[in-house]
């Protein structure tokens, strides 16, 4: 009995019920209940899908831009000492600048359209990618390079067959951080530079005191974020299973 | 003489997929006070599992363990373990001295007394001057000396040694073998040494228990009379040493699973 | 020595690059002013007291928020470790709330809580609490089993085990969560200021940008970077205090 009572789903349901009761007592559109939110989700459904499509499109573009430029740069910083020596403190310095703080400047150069937002998203995603790629390349076990040489591999083969796979677990962690940063900043940039997207929707509806619609937008963001996380976790299991299994074996030994 | 540690009908089965894995089957033996017993067996035969059951760290599936006549369910007072993996069994955030002090928690000493004793024990294992070092600042052999000092600190009547010297180089190994035997005699402790190295098992012990492959039983008990004083060169050339070594190696070779490599 | 040399070198390089772009005149000077102009703009904002006020507003919100959020997050992590049913509930809540950006809740929070400190407290707690919580829970569950055996042999009960073994072993991972949360706290505060548009660096950045006062925008960005660095250094100091052994150990192993 107690176990059922404390089940997360049961607790959530109870919280929703309590919320609904308070909303029914208050009877004001400024305190929407879960049913109002569900209603808004239903009414605005097609529009919400369209808006989150804009958001995701820009998030993916920004993430891809960052991944294509920053992973090679980070790996190079980790392998080439001189580059790392000046590059790393530079990156560390930039990392202290929160992505939204770059919005005003980016806006001056790139306007308020897609390009500006994609640049801010790419900046946000770039920081974990470049830091972790450099770290992964630097921490490559010296033994692995020797193994490559003893097997008679060329430099390029060593890079492809040994260096890249052993850097992958760390890059995966970075990609996960970068992906969630990309989504967060994509939404934030839409709230700051309003044209379209789910962030813009949230801003508009809440300013119009349609709080139920605002909450509906937040619910949608949460669901999309959850799905994104699941997808990343599943692909990590698929491609990096060897890493996690060897780690589990280590802790069990 | 009454036994210090006794095990009777000890068995351990781990739930596994698709079938449960039977590790230990019906193990019974006893260790007398101040006795040095070695346990050898083919690799993967569940030696560590056996030791964990004896230490009260792992409940057996059936059978019993008694220490000083009391059934063992939790780690009892008076038993210390030196773990196989010294690099993970020391707390990396504590100095050598603090790691040794950890072994004395059950003695209820004051802070200053514990500190003095820890330093004395570190000197005993040859680590005077390294009291303030952290484990990762020490070599493998030195880390294992800290782990030994920590086990000695509990003033235990019984030391359980789980392949304590498996990961150190040959010279350090010989030194630590003599150190361990010397300290066990000095502090009048019984020792139970688990090892896969037959030479080490014979050199250190008053008695060797030879295990079978999984599910593990005791194949034979080999008593030794090599004397109290051992010497790395002379002892290893004695005819009775060589005879015991031959007997045990033959048993283990026969016990190896089919097709196992050299 | 090199510890000091490298940031100085990086700063110099950044300044040189900056000045090179200015001299090459690839971007109109109006949009990309020389360093001297940026410094001048910063000085005049300091002279007017604008800079200090904004830094104080943003800094106090972010720093107090980060301290509170990390303490609450670690506390919840400890509580959840002791009570598995609480952990299941909190994990569900974390999974739901983690993807929500701070900006998304600001308009509603303004409506419910006004523009004062309660707004910032709410936004920072809601979006920042999860990294320290999740790090604490996962690190406490992953103690090396050999160390747990060592603790049992020393006769530790559950509380002593937590205090002497599990918590110290978990510290490096917990503090990584703290570092992450501290960065997000600053971001959350700046975004909130941008949206509410009343005070703080976030507000000032937008105000100056819309007025096309570009040297001042750059001076403010530099100030934000300094604030971020200062908070990062504070976390590093805490890290050295609680998990310095881990840094030293890694430095030696590498």
CB contact under 8 A, A89 and C100: no
Q: Which 8-state DSSP code applies to residue B257? A: P
Round to whole Å and give the CA distance between C7 and B251: 66
Is C69 part of the contact surface with chain A (CB cutoff 8 Å)? no
Segment holding C134, helix H or strand E: helix C130-141
- CB A56: neighbour CB atoms within 10 A? 17
**Tens-digit pLDDT profile for residues C101-126:** 888 888 888 877 777 888 888 888 88
Cβ burial C9-30 (10 Å sphere, 16+ → b, else e): ebeeebeeebeeebeeeeeeee
Is the pLDDT at B209 greater than 90, yes or no? yes
Which chains neighbour C (Cβ–Cβ under 8 Å, 3 or more pairs)? Answer: A, B
Q: Which residue of C has its CA nearest to A207?
A: C107
Q: Count how many domains chain C has.
A: 1
Cβ of residue B186 closer than 8 Å to a chain C Cβ: no
**Does A97 contact C6 at a Cβ distance shorter than 8 Å?**
no
C52 touches chain A (CB under 8 A): no
Residue carrying structure tokens 């997929």: B17
**Residue A182 belongs to a domain with what CATH number?**
1.10.3720.10
Residue C89: the pLDDT is 85
Chain B residue numbers with beta carbons less than 8 Å from the beta carbon of C153 are 55, 57, 75, 79-81, 154
With an 8 Å Cβ cutoff, is C1 touching chain B?
Answer: no
β-sheet with B218-223: strand ranges across: B79-82, B158-162, B190-195, B36-40, B207-211, B218-223
Query: B140 touching C, CB under 8 A?
Result: no
Quick: pLDDT tens for C60-104. 999 999 999 999 999 999 999 888 888 888 888 888 888 888 888
Best residue in C86, C103, C188, C251 for a mutation probing chain A (most A CBs within 10 Å): C103
How many B-C residue pairs are in contact by the CB < 8 A criterion? 60
C42 lies in some domain: no
What pLDDT score was predicted for residue C212?
81
- pLDDT tens for each residue of C142-165: 888 889 888 988 888 888 899 999
Residue C86 lies in a domain: yes
The model's pLDDT over C43-64, given as tens digits with 9 standing for 90+, comes to 888 888 888 888 999 999 999 9
Q: What are the angstrom distances between the C-alpha of B214 and each of B40, B47, B203?
A: 13, 10, 25
**What is the predicted pLDDT for the residue at A4?**
54
Q: Above pLDDT 90, what percent of chain B?
A: 27
**Mean pLDDT for the stretch of residues B13-30:** 86
Nearest to C88 among A8, A94, A217 (CB): A8
**For chain A, what is the domain count?**
1
Please give the span between the terminal C-alpha atoms of chain C, in angstroms, as a whole number: 20
Q: Please check whether residue B139 touches C, CB under 8 A.
A: no
Task: Give which of A189, A166, A205 is closest to A48, Cα–Cα.
Answer: A205
Nearest CA to CA, how far is C132 from chain B (Å)? Answer: 21
pLDDT at A242: 66
- Strand positions, DSSP E, B15-163: 21-31, 36-40, 62-67, 70-71, 79-82, 158-162
Residue C124 CB neighbour total at 10 angstroms: 26
C244: pLDDT confidence band, cut at 50, 70 and 90?
confident
Q: What is the pLDDT of residue A55?
A: 85
CA distance C206 to chain A (A): 6
Q: Does the structure show a pLDDT above 80 at B192?
A: yes
Domain B1-71+191-262 matching CATH 3.40.50.970: the answer reads no
Q: Is B78 left (phi over 0), alpha (psi -120 to 50) or beta?
A: left
Closest chain A residue to C231 measured between Cα atoms? A96
Length of chain C: 254
SS3 content of chain A, % helix, strand, coil (to 5): 85, 0, 15
Q: Do A228 and A182 meet the contact criterion of CB atoms below 8 Å apart? A: no
CA distance C123 to chain B (A): 36
User: Which chains pack against B, by 3+ Cβ pairs within 8 A?
Assistant: C
Is the CB of C146 less than 8 angstroms away from the CB of B88? yes
Q: How far apart, in whole angstroms, are the C-alpha atoms of residue A148 and residue A166?
A: 13
DSSP code of B65?
A: E
Per CB-CB distance under 8 Å, the chain C contacts of A108 are 31, 209, 212, 214, 217
CB distance B180 to B191 below 8 Å: yes
Quote the CA–CA distance of A78 and A6 in Å, as a whole number. 48
Domain extent, residue A57, equals 53-196
pLDDT band at B258 (very low <50, low <70, confident <90, very high): low
Does residue C19 fall inside a structural domain? no
Candidates A97, A184, A209; nearest CB to C221? A97
Query: Domain containing C101: what range?
Result: 55-243
pLDDT for position A143: 64
Do the domain assignments include residue A132? yes
DSSP 8-state assignment for residue B69 = T
Which position has the higher pLDDT, B181 or A3?
B181
| Closest chain A C-alpha to C92 CA, distance in angstroms | 7
Query: Could you tell me the two tokens for C101?
Result: 């950006």
In a domain, C35, yes or no: no
Residue C107 resides in a domain = yes
> Which of the residues in chain A have pLDDT under 70?
1-6, 29-30, 141-145, 148-149, 152, 155, 159, 241-253
CA neighbor of B10 nearest in space, from B23, B28, B22: B28
Stretch 117-146 of chain C: residues touching chain B, C-beta under 8 Å: 144, 146
Residue B160 has pLDDT above 90, yes or no: yes
Give domain status of residue C167, yes or no: yes
Report which of residues B2 and C128 the model is more confident about. C128
Residue C221 Cα, gap to closest chain B Cα (Å) = 39
pLDDT of B16 over the 50 cut: yes
Mean pLDDT of B57-76: 90
**C252, B136: Cβ pair inside 8 Å?**
yes
> Quick check: is A85 in a domain?
yes
> Cβ of A214 and C108 within 8 Å?
yes
pLDDT reported for residue B262 = 42
- pLDDT reported for residue A49: 84
| Angle in degrees, CA C203, C206, C207, rounded to 5 | 80
Contact: C88, A218; criterion CB under 8 Å: no
Binned at pLDDT 50, 70 and 90, residue B261 comes out as: very low
C-alpha to C-alpha distance for B159 and B40, rounded to whole angstroms: 16
CATH number for position C183: 1.10.3720.10
Structure confidence at residue B21 (pLDDT): 86
Give residues 158 to 217 of C whose Cβ lies within 8 Å of A. 183, 186-187, 190-191, 194-195, 201-202, 205-206, 208-209, 212, 214, 217
The domain spans of chain B are 1-71+191-262
Residues of chain B neighbouring C154 (CB-CB closer than 8 A):
102-103, 105-106
Q: Do A226 and C97 touch (CB under 8 A)?
A: no
Contact B75 C152 (CB under 8 A): yes
């Amino acid at each position: 009995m107690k176990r059922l009572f404390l089940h997360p789903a049961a607790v959530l349901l109870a919280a929703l019920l309590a919320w609904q009761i308070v909303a029914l007592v208050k009877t004001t559109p400024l305190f929407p209940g879960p049913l109002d939110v569900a209603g808004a989700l239903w009414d605005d459904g097609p529009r919400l899908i369209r808006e989150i499509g804009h958001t995701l499109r820009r998030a993916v573009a920004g993430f891809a831009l960052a991944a294509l430029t920053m992973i090679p740069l980070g790996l190079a910083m980790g392998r080439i000492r001189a580059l790392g020596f000046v590059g790393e403190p530079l990156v560390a310095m930039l990392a202290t600048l929160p992505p939204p703080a770059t919005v005003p400047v980016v806006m001056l150069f790139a306007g308020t359209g897609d390009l500006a937002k994609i640049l801010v998203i790419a900046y946000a995603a770039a920081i974990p990618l470049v830091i972790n790629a450099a770290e992964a390349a630097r921490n490559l076990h010296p033994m692995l390079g020797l193994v490559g040489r003893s097997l008679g591999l060329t430099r390029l083969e060593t890079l492809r067959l040994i260096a890249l796979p052993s850097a992958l677990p760390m890059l995966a962690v970075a990609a996960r951080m970068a992906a969630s940063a990309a989504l967060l900043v994509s939404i934030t940039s839409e709230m700051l530079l309003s044209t379209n997207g789910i962030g813009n929707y949230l801003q508009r509806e809440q300013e119009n005191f349609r709080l139920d619609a605002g909450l509906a937008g937040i619910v949608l963001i949460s669901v999309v974020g959850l799905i994104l996380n699941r997808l990343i976790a599943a692909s990590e299991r698929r491609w990096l299973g060897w890493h996690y299994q060897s780690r589990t074996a280590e802790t069990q030994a | 003489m009454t036994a210090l540690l006794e095990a009777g009908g000890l068995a351990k089965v781990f739930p596994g997929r698709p079938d449960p894995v039977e590790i230990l089957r019906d193990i019974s033996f006893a260790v007398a006070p101040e006795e040095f017993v070695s346990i050898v067996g083919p690799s993967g035969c569940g030696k560590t599992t056996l030791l964990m059951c004896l230490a009260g760290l792992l409940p057996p599936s059936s059978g019993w363990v008694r220490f000083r006549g009391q059934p063992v369910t939790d780690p009892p007072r008076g038993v210390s373990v030196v773990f196989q993996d010294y690099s993970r069994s020391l707390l990396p955030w504590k100095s050598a001295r603090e790691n040794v002090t950890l072994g004395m928690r059950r003695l209820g000493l004051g802070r200053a007394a514990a500190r003095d004793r820890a330093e004395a024990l570190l000197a005993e294992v040859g680590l005077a001057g390294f009291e303030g070092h952290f484990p990762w600042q020490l070599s493998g052999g030195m880390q294992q000396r800290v782990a030994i000092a920590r086990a000695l600190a509990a003033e235990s009547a019984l030391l359980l040694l789980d392949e304590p010297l498996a990961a150190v180089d040959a010279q350090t190994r010989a030194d630590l073998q003599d150190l361990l035997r010397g300290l066990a005699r000095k502090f009048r402790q019984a020792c139970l040494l688990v090892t896969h190295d037959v030479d080490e098992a014979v050199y250190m012990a008053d008695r060797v228990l030879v295990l079978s492959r999984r599910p593990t039983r005791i194949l034979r008990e080999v008593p030794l009379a090599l004397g109290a004083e051992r010497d790395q060169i002379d002892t290893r050339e004695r005819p009775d040493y060589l005879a015991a070594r031959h007997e045990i190696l033959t048993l283990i070779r026969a016990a190896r699973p089919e097709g196992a490599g050299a | 020595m090199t510890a000091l040399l490298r940031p100085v070198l990086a700063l110099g390089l950044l300044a040189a690059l900056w000045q090179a772009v200015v001299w090459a005149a690839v971007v109109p000077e109006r949009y990309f002013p020389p360093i001297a102009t940026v410094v001048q703009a910063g000085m005049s904002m300091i002279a007017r007291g604008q800079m200090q006020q904004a830094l104080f507003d943003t800094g106090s919100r972010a720093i107090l928020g980060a301290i509170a959020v990390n303490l609450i997050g670690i506390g919840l992590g400890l509580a959840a470790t002791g009570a598995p049913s609480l952990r299941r509930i909190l994990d569900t809540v974390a999974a739901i709330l983690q993807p929500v950006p701070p900006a998304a809740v600001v308009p509603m929070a303004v409506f419910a809580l006004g523009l004062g400190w309660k707004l910032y407290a709410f936004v920072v707690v809601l979006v920042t609490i999860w990294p320290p919580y999740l790090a604490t829970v996962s690190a406490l569950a992953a103690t090396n089993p050999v160390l747990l055996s060592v603790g049992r042999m020393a006769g530790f009960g559950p509380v002593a085990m937590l205090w002497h073994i599990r918590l110290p072993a978990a510290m490096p991972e917990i503090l990584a969560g703290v570092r992450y949360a501290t960065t997000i706290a600053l971001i959350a505060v700046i975004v909130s200021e941008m949206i509410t548009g009343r005070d703080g660096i976030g507000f000032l950045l937008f105000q100056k940008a819309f007025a096309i006062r570009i040297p001042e925008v750059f001076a403010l960005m530099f100030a934000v970077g300094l604030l971020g660095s200062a908070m990062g250094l504070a976390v590093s100091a805490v890290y050295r205090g609680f998990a310095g052994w881990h840094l030293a150990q890694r430095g030696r192993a590498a």
